[in-house]
């Protein structure tokens, strides 16, 4: 660097001494410019190298402690603005001393480099990975949708220690203990987050090493259970373990069956079924609901096919779909594909969308529903009366029917408010030319009252429980 500066000075002096000859002068200027350019490139390179040295751990090239702390503070500030949760994961190898003592320090260094590479590989580019010193690493996980995603990420990190590391032709196994603290649930400042993540790591060591622990175990126990359920549900779909049961919808005037609602069933190991509402809720928080939606739709079409082959042509099926199935074109494309194969199936299908988690009124979603409705598919608002009960919702989408929630129906003989609500919904249906279906009808008395209120359709245990066909 100094020789560059000296050359520069000499050239300047040469110029100042004043070579009279213009040609010589311009030749000198050209040389000078070139050298200055090279010098500035070199200094930029050196500067970048210095910055890298200051920010990165020299052995593993991961971030070092000081820059990681700065990044943590910045990310916390961002998270305060966006409301997005972040997780700080502290890792401490369980048996690194053994590796150093038995294979030597160079092998220990090799191991740290290989672990760093696997850590970088197992995280997303937006996450930060640092070596804080010795055999201690820290990771900052961002852009996470929900708590069970933190569990997924931590399990990915733990998984990198499953395979032994190849060091000098030897297979070296090492495990880690990990502690996780989440901002803002577990801490309000960067240093509190670091302390709590450390505490969680010691908790994991106390659990018997090769383990991870969340600072707030109770809060995250739920996330761990959900994550487990997601894995099991995914396997159940792939192994064709799910079933559909069907419950008839009855025309109250004639007593005839007009349609069957398909309800998802997941058999447990004790000849019973897992709670549908519970596992649907977990599926809705992940992309599994899309997989389930596809599966249910295909099964419903298969059932229509079976009836059609048996010469039964007057049966309809209602399927349940979650609002987030309409957030991308995938579901509508799938439905279109199936229905185009057998066009009259479209006339026999109703899609029920719950009002508990309503569709967003956006032009994209309106277009998707319109495309399906133009094919002949009908739409029903499920659980009406306990959610927003919004009339603008009914106007925004091509709805054909409303299902009055069972919590209202089951109370119409007990409470005047529920009777008034039910009467008003039936009138709303008549005014907007929508069919109205009363859900959860369990007694003759309720069925008779609904009939006298001119409610056209009913569904419930009085007629049949959901059953396999
Ligand atoms: P839902 O769509 O409101 O379905 C009606 C629920 O009430 C069903 O519970 C049904 O078994 C139950 N039911 C029917 N008649 C009676 C009755 O007379 N009395 C009482 N107490 N209950 C009755 P299930 O099968 O446990 O389903 C729960 C919820 O899970 C469904 O509520 C629906 O929101 C959701 N679900 C079910 N299958 C699917 C599916 O394939 N996809 C999606 N996205 N959601 C589904
Ligand atoms: Ca339903
Ligand atoms: Ca319902």
Does residue 240 carry a pLDDT above 90?
A: yes
pLDDT, greater one: 386 or 255: 255
pLDDT of the residue at 285: 83
Q: Rounded mean pLDDT of 135-159? A: 90
Tokens of 79: 């998270």
Opening angle at CA 21, ends 15 and 26, nearest 5? 55
Query: Cα separation of 83 and 142, whole Å?
Result: 11
| CB distance 180 to 128 below 8 Å | no
How far, in Å, from the CA of 411 to the mean position of ligand 2?
Answer: 19
- Which range, 33-47, 49-63, 214-228, 260-274, is most confident? 260-274
End-to-end CA separation in angstroms for the chain: 84
In ligand 1, which atom is closest to the CA atom of 405? 3
Q: What is the pLDDT of residues 438-469, one digit of tens each?
A: 999 999 999 999 999 999 999 999 999 999 98
Q: What is the pLDDT of residues 334-360, one digit of tens each?
A: 888 888 777 788 999 999 998 888 888
pLDDT of the residue at 145: 75
Task: Report CA-CA distances (Å) from 128 to 49, 121, 160, 352, 418.
Answer: 20, 12, 17, 43, 54
Q: Rounded mean pLDDT of 144-165? A: 90
Instruction: Say if ligand 1 is within 6 A of residue 280 CB.
Output: yes
Q: Rounded mean pLDDT of 96-114? A: 93
Protein residues with C-beta less than 5 angstroms from the ion ligand 3: 382-383, 439
Q: What is the pLDDT of residues 187-232, one digit of tens each?
A: 999 999 999 999 999 989 988 889 999 998 666 677 778 889 999 9
Surface-to-core class of residue 71, CB atoms within 10 Å of its CB (0-12 exposed, 13-18 middle, 19+ buried): middle
Could you tell me what percent of the chain has a pLDDT over 70?
88
Chain centroid to Cα 435, Å, comes to: 35
Query: Cα separation of 412 and 446, whole Å?
Result: 7
| pLDDT band at residue 2 using 50, 70 and 90 as cut-offs | very low
Mutate to test the pocket of ligand 1, among 236, 244, 276 (most ligand atoms within 8 A of CB): 276
Mean pLDDT for the chain overall:
88
Nearest CA to ligand 1 atom 25: 263
Instruction: Say if ligand 1 is within 6 A of residue 138 CB.
Output: no
Query: CB count, 10 Å around CB of 255?
Result: 9
pLDDT of the residue at 17: 47
Does residue 417 carry a pLDDT above 70?
A: yes
Instruction: Say if ligand 1 is within 6 A of residue 383 CB.
Output: yes
Does residue 22 carry a pLDDT above 70?
A: no
Q: What is the pLDDT of residues 265-320, one digit of tens each?
A: 999 988 899 999 999 998 988 889 999 999 999 999 999 999 999 999 889 999 99
| CB distance 352 to 318 below 8 Å | yes
Closest CA to 148 of 225, 201, 204, 213: 225
In ligand 1, which atom is closest to the CA atom of 442? 18
Q: Name all domains of the chain by residue range, CATH numbers in brackets.
A: 65-215 (3.30.70.270), 225-459 (3.20.20.450)
Nearest CA to ligand 1 atom 3: 383
Ligand closest to Cα of 261 equals: 2
Give the contacts of 265 (CB within 8 A, at least 6 positions apart).
242, 243, 244, 245, 273, 276, 466
Chain centroid to Cα 177, Å, comes to: 26
| pLDDT band at residue 46 using 50, 70 and 90 as cut-offs | low
Q: Rounded mean pLDDT of 3-19? A: 40
Instruction: Say if ligand 1 is within 6 A of residue 466 CB.
Output: yes
Q: Rounded mean pLDDT of 421-448? A: 97
> Facing residues of 136 across strands?
92, 133
How far, in Å, from the CA of 445 to the mean position of ligand 3?
Answer: 20
User: Could you tell me the pTM of the whole model?
Assistant: 0.68
In ligand 1, which atom is closest to the CA atom of 354? 34
| CB distance 79 to 184 below 8 Å | yes
Does residue 18 carry a pLDDT above 50?
A: no
């Amino acid at each position: 660097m100094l020789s560059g500066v000296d050359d520069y000075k000499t050239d300047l002096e040469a110029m100042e001494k004043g070579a009279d000859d213009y040609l010589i002068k311009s030749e000198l200027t050209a040389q000078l410019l070139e050298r200055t350019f090279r010098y500035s490139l070199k200094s930029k390179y050196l500067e970048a190298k210095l910055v890298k040295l200051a920010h990165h751990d020299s052995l593993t090239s991961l971030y070092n402690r000081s820059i990681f702390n700065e990044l943590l503070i910045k990310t916390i500030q961002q998270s305060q603005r966006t409301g997005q949760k972040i997780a700080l994961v502290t890792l401490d190898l369980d048996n690194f001393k053994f590796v150093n003592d038995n294979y030597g320090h160079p092998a220990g260094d090799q191991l740290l480099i290989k672990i760093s590479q696997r850590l970088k590989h197992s995280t997303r580019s937006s996450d930060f990975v640092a070596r804080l010193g010795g055999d201690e690493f820290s990771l900052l996980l961002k852009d996470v949708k929900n708590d069970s995603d933190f569990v997924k990420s931590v399990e990915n990190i733990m998984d990198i220690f499953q395979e032994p590391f190849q060091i000098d032709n030897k297979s070296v196994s090492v495990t880690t203990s990990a502690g996780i603290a989440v901002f803002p649930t577990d801490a309000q400042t960067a240093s509190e987050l670091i302390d709590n993540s450390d505490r969680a790591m010691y908790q994991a060591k106390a659990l018997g090493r090769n383990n991870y622990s969340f600072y707030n175990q109770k809060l995250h126990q739920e996330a761990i259970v959900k994550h487990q359920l997601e894995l099991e549900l995914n396997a159940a779909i792939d192994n064709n373990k799910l079933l559909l049961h069907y419950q008839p919808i009855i025309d109250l005037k004639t007593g005839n069956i007009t349609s069957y609602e398909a309800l998802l069933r997941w058999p447990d190991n004790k000849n019973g079924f897992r709670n549908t509402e519970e596992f649907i809720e977990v599926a809705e928080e992940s992309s599994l609901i899309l997989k389930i939606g596809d599966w249910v739709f295909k099964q419903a079409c298969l059932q229509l096919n079976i009836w059609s082959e048996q010469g039964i042509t007057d049966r309809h099926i209602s399927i349940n779909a979650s609002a987030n199935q309409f957030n991308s074109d995938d579901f509508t494309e799938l439905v279109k594909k199936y229905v185009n194969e057998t066009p009259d199936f479209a006339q026999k299908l109703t899609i029920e969308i719950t009002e508990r988690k309503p569709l967003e009124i956006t032009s994209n979603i309106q277009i998707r529903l319109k495309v399906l409705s133009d094919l002949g598919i009908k739409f029903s608002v499920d659980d009406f009366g306990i959610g927003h009960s919004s009339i603008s919702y009914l106007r925004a989408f091509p709805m054909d029917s409303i299902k009055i929630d069972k919590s209202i129906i089951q109370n119409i003989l007990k409470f005047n408010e529920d009777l008034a609500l039910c009467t008003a919904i039936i009138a709303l249906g008549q005014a907007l030319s929508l069919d109205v279906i009363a859900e959860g009808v369990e007694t003759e008395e309720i069925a008779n009252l609904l009939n006298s209120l001119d409610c056209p359709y009913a569904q419930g245990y009085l007629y049949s429980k959901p059953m396999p066909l």
